[in-house]
């Protein structure tokens, strides 16, 4: 008795021709035994991760010297990658939280995967502050823990803001993800058997879906979304202040916070596309995530991409208009200096490539979208690389100017971070419903005896 239904507020084109039973079935199906391709992917990820570990061990043994640091460039690839991953996270929270508040229906099918991406991206980012410091074994000195020395951290330092922002972000988004999972895990629990059942029933913390539970749950979910929303905007603002608070020309910009947040969301969606385009095929859920979703994602990309275009233009304009020789030199060299290639690849990959998305054809063509998403990932990594390295390499004292070239130690850690991220994401996709069962069901009205709408 398959009932074809129109969701109340879904626009044309967004149809889920399924009953609740089928939704459960299909989603639970994604948790079946892993395919060959999946295993290979996982192995790939793990080996990358091992490369990262090996590199890190060498760094701990000898010191950071192996990396390409070349004073005055005291930060380079590690901080770049840190900002990159924090940025990735933002799209997830945007889609799962902000769009939830806006009651935008298309998020439903994709938000679980993006939320998972957020958590693992932030988990990855969280490693870098530890990796990049000179004495990794005492990173905990950045935490305000009572100690016999009576010493506390310096809360005026943006790095401490980071510690709080990142850990808060990780905690809240994890909570958000786990919280959303509970009813779905319960649904899975009731479908599987054996040891898996016992695991899922433990992790579904006794969810039954009673009216009372739903009553509190939906409320709480709303508040979590409401709390996560300012968090999205704040976290990357805080990260941007790492630079904006500094006096380095090219860092010291007032537009940094919005500029970084836009960039973060932009890069995040790029990563979302990169992830779910293959994923939906792999997990055979094309009928739940289809062109309609990608069209919306693409529009979001276009919006944030255009904001970036504006931000870039503004940076150069302000540098020129300020009449500040330091700013001017920095931005001149960013475009025509020794690192021109990085500068331009950032501008082209981010500001220009995203403009292609004005065309519906490109928006709805998964191949082109996938290619663009790759460009976005590269472009956004370079954006951070340029902002950090090129600004540092030529600041106030010309005598100190110098260039840096990344080394195997830099690339090793970078690859490792991708491995670490990929590993967790893949494991998650096989263990938990990557599509939100109960929210999809919420969009499919339950069958009625009298038919039609109530």
Partner 1 sequence: MTEESKPTIDRRRFLTVLGASSGGAIALSGCSTGQVEKLIPYLVQSEDQVPGVATWYSSTCTECSTGCGLHVRTREGRAVKLEGNPEHPVNQGKLCSRGQAGLQGLYNPGRLKGPMARAANGQFQEITWDDAIARLAGKLGPAGNKVAVISGAGRGTFSDLLSDWVRALGGRLARYEAFASEPLRAANRQVFGLDQIAAHDFGRAKYIVSFGTDFLDTGLASIEHARGFARSHGFSERDVAKMVYLAPRMDLTGLNADQWHPIKPGSEAALALAMANLLLTERGARGEGAALRGALSAFTPEAAAQETGLPVATIQQLAREFGAARPSLAVAGGAGSQHAGATEVCAAVNILNYVAGNIGETVRFGADLDTSDGYGALQPLLAALDAGQVDVALVHEANPAYTLPRTSGFAAKFQKAGFKVSTSMYLDETSALCDLLLPQHHALERWDDLRPRAGVHSLMQPVMEPVFNTMATGDLLLRTAKAMGGTLAGFNASSYKDHLQARWQGLAATRKETDFAAFWHGALQRGGVFTDPPAAPRVSLAPRGGQVRYTKPVFEGDGPFVFATYAHSLLHDGRGANKPWLLENADPVTKITWHSWVEVHPDTARKLDVRDGEILRLTSPHGSIEAPVFVYQGIHPDVVAVPLGLGHTEYGSYARGRGVNALDLLGAPAGDFLPYISTRVSVEKTGDYKSLASIAGNSRQLGRGIAEAMSLDAAKKGLTVEQAYLAEGHGKHEINTELELEAIKGWSERQIQDTKDGNYTGDHPRWGMAIDLAKCTGCQACVTACYAENNIPTVGETEIGKGREMTWIRIERYWEGGEEPGQPVTAHFVPMLCQHCSNAPCEPVCPVYAAYHTPDGLNGQVYNRCVGTRYCANNCPYKVRYFNWYKYNQVAWPEPLHLQLNPDVTVRARGVMEKCTFCIQRIRGAQNDARLENRVMRDGDVVTACAQACPSDAIVFGDVNDPASRVARLHQDHRGYRVLEDLNTRSAITYLAKVLLPAEA
Partner 2 sequence: MRKLAYVVGGVAAGGVAALLTLGGHPPYAQQANTVADSIVAPVLSASDTGSLKGPRQPIFFRHDIHAGQYKIQCQYCHYSVAVSSEPGIPSVQTCMGCHLVIGGSDSSHQTEIKKLRQAWNEKKPVEWVRVHYLARHAHFPHQRHIKALGPTACATCHGDVQRMPQVFKVNKVDNMGFCITCHIERKVSRDCSVCHY
Partner 3 sequence: MAFLKRSSKATATRAAGVVASFLHVDAAVDAIRALRAKGYRNLVVYTPSPNHEIEEALEHKVSPVRLLTLIGGLTGCTAGFAMTIWMSYDWPLVVGGKAIASLPPYVVIGFELTILMGALSTVAAVALFSLLMGQRGTPFDPRFSDDTIGIFVPTTPDQLGPIEQLLRSAGAVEVRHEAA
List interacting residues with partner 3 (CB under 8 A).
Answer: 19-21, 24, 144, 150-156, 160-161, 164-165, 168, 171-172, 175-176, 179, 183, 186-187, 189-191, 201-202, 205-220, 223-224, 227-228, 230-231, 234, 238, 241, 438-439, 441-442, 445-450, 454
Q: How far is CA 382 from the centre of its chain?
A: 16
339: three-class secondary structure by DSSP: coil
Contact between residue 440 and residue 23 where contact means Cβ atoms under 8 Å apart: yes
CB of 228 to partner 3, least distance (A): 8
CB of 145 to partner 2, least distance (A): 5
The candidate with the shortest Cα–Cα distance to 250, out of 160, 350, 346, is 346
Torsion (CA) 209, 430, 193, 36 in degrees, nearest 10: 160
Q: Which of 65, 71, 144, 206 binds partner 2 (CB under 8 A)?
A: 144
Q: Site size for partner 2, by CB under 8 A?
A: 9
Closer residue to partner 2 in complex, CB, 146/454: 146
Angstrom distance (rounded) from CA 375 to CA 356: 12
Angstrom distance (rounded) from CA 357 to CA 84: 22
Angstrom distance (rounded) from CA 271 to CA 87: 10
Q: Which of 94, 119, 163, 276 binds partner 1 (CB under 8 A)?
A: 163
User: How close are the terminal C-alpha atoms of the chain, in Å?
Assistant: 19
Closer residue to partner 3 in complex, CB, 227/374: 227
Neighbours of 74 (CB within 10 A): 13
Q: Does 137 interact with partner 1 (rule: CB under 8 A)?
A: yes
Closer residue to partner 2 in complex, CB, 140/195: 140
Q: Does 137 interact with partner 2 (rule: CB under 8 A)?
A: no
Q: Which of 17, 47, 147, 355 binds partner 2 (CB under 8 A)?
A: 147
Closer residue to partner 3 in complex, CB, 228/308: 228
Q: Does 160 interact with partner 1 (rule: CB under 8 A)?
A: yes
Which parts of 113-132 interact with partner 1 (CB under 8 A)? Answer: 132
CB of 342 to partner 3, least distance (A): 30
> Using CB distances below 5 to 8 A depending on partner kind, what does residue 62 bind out of partner 3, partner 1, partner 2, none?
partner 1
CB of 446 to partner 3, least distance (A): 4
Angstrom distance (rounded) from CA 100 to CA 103: 5
Within 8 A by CB and 6+ apart from 254, the residues are: 244
CB of 22 to partner 1, least distance (A): 53
Angstrom distance (rounded) from CA 277 to CA 274: 6
HSE-CB of 373 using CA atoms within 13 angstroms: 25
Phi-psi region of 74 (alpha: psi -120 to 50; beta: other; left: phi over 0): alpha
Q: Does 149 interact with partner 2 (rule: CB under 8 A)?
A: yes
Closer residue to partner 2 in complex, CB, 130/245: 130
Within 8 A by CB and 6+ apart from 100, the residues are: 107, 111, 221, 222, 225
Q: Which of 75, 82, 84, 381 binds partner 1 (CB under 8 A)?
A: 75
The helix (H) or strand (E) run that includes residue 264 is helix 256-282
Instruction: Build a one-symbol-per-residue string for 384-423: x at contacts with partner 1 by CB under 8 A, - elsewhere.
Output: --------x-xxxxxxxxx---------------------
Angstrom distance (rounded) from CA 340 to CA 390: 9
List of residues contacting partner 1 (CB under 8 A): 62-65, 69-72, 74-75, 132-139, 141-142, 151, 153-154, 156-160, 163, 242, 245-248, 322-326, 329, 392, 394-402
């Amino acid at each position: 008795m398959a009932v074809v239904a129109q969701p109340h507020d879904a626009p044309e084109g967004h149809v889920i021709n399924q009953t609740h039973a089928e939704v459960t079935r299909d989603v639970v199906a994604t948790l079946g035994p892993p395919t060959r391709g999946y295993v290979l992917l996982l192995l790939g990820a793990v080996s990358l991760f091992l490369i990262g570990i090996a590199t890190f061990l060498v760094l701990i043994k000898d010191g950071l010297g192996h990396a390409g640091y070349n004073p005055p460039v005291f930060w380079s690839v590690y901080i770049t990658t840190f900002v990159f991953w924090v940025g990735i996270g933002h799209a997830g929270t945007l889609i799962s939280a902000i769009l939830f508040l806006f009651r935008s229906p298309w998020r439903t099918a994709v938000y679980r995967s993006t939320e998972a991406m957020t958590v693992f991206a932030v988990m990855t980012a969280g490693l870098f502050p530890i990796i990049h410091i000179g004495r990794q074994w005492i990173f905990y000195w950045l935490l305000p823990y009572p100690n016999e020395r009576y010493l506390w951290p310096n809360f005026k330092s943006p790095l401490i803001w980071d510690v709080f922002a990142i850990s808060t972000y990780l905690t809240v988004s994890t909570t958000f993800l786990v919280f959303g999972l509970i009813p779905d895990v319960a649904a899975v629990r009731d479908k599987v058997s054996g040891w898996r059942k016992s695991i899922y029933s433990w992790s579904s913390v006794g969810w039954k879906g009673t009216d009372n539970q739903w009553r509190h749950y939906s409320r709480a979910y709303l508040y979590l979304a409401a709390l996560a929303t300012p968090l999205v905007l704040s976290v990357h603002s805080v990260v941007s202040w790492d630079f904006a608070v500094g006096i380095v020309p090219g860092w010291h910009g007032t537009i940094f916070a919005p500029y970084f947040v836009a960039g973060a969301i932009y890069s995040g969606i790029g990563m979302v596309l990169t992830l779910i385009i293959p994923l939906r095929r792999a997990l055979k859920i094309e009928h739940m995530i289809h062109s309609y979703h990608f069209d919306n994602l693409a529009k979001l990309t276009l919006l944030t991409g255009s904001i970036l275009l504006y931000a870039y233009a503004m940076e150069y304009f302000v540098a020129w208009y300020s009449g500040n020789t330091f700013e001017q030199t920095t931005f001149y060299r960013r475009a025509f200096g020794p690192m021109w290639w990085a500068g331009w690849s950032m501008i082209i990959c981010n500001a220009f490539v995203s403009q292609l998305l004005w065309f519906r054809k490109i928006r709805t063509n998964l191949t082109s979208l996938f290619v663009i998403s790759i460009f976005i990932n590269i472009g956004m990594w370079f954006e951070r690389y340029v902002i950090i390295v090129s600004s540092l390499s030529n600041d106030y004292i010309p005598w100190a100017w110098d260039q840096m070239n990344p080394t195997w130690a830099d690339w090793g850690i970078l690859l490792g971070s991708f491995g670490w991220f990929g590993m967790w994401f893949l494991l998650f996709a096989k263990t938990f419903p990557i599509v939100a069962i109960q929210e999809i069901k919420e969009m499919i009205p339950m069958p009625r005896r009298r038919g039609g709408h109530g």
